[in-house]
Amino acid sequence: AQSVTQPDIHITVSEGASLELRCNYSYGATPYLFWYVQSPGQGLQLLLKYFSGDTLVQGIKGFEAEFKRSQSSFNLRKPSVHWSDAAEYFCAVEGAGSYQLTFGKGTKLSVIP
């Protein structure tokens, strides 16, 4: 069965600082990988996805993520955080043919002005 671990429950960064949110997955083959963001009281918005090809993927809002097969990781990064990035971030995997997303527990990001 596939699983996702986001080891950081809560991260606080200063506005303008860089950000890295960690995600590790467990799956027998290369899964499809996603990062979603959820603002308070809102639904989930897709930030970026990895299906195959280039292991560094660019997303919306200046986010990027790097797939590292050897480490089973798909960490999310942003070079300079804005106050509006404060939200909860979810990493998700979909095993090929499983048709379902398995989510991590989420990382809550707080941004200090």
CB 8 within 8 A of CB 23: no
Give contact residues for other proteins (rule: CB under 8 A): 32, 34, 36, 42-46, 49, 90, 94, 96-106
Q: Which of 45, 68, 72 is nearest to 56 (CA)?
A: 68
Cβ nearer to other proteins, comparing 81 with 90 = 90
Tell me whether residue 19 or residue 44 sits nearer to other proteins (CB atom).
Answer: 44
**Residue 32 vs 77, nearer CB to other proteins:** 32
Closest distance to other proteins from the beta carbon of 43 (Å): 4
Return the number of the residue (41 or 113) whose C-beta is nearest other proteins.
41
Supply the minimum distance, in Å, between the C-beta of residue 18 and other proteins.
Answer: 26
Residue type, 65: A
Output the smallest distance, CB 67 to other proteins, in A: 16
Decide: helix, strand or coil at residue 48. Answer: strand
Would you say 57 and 64 are in contact if contact means Cβ atoms under 8 Å apart? yes
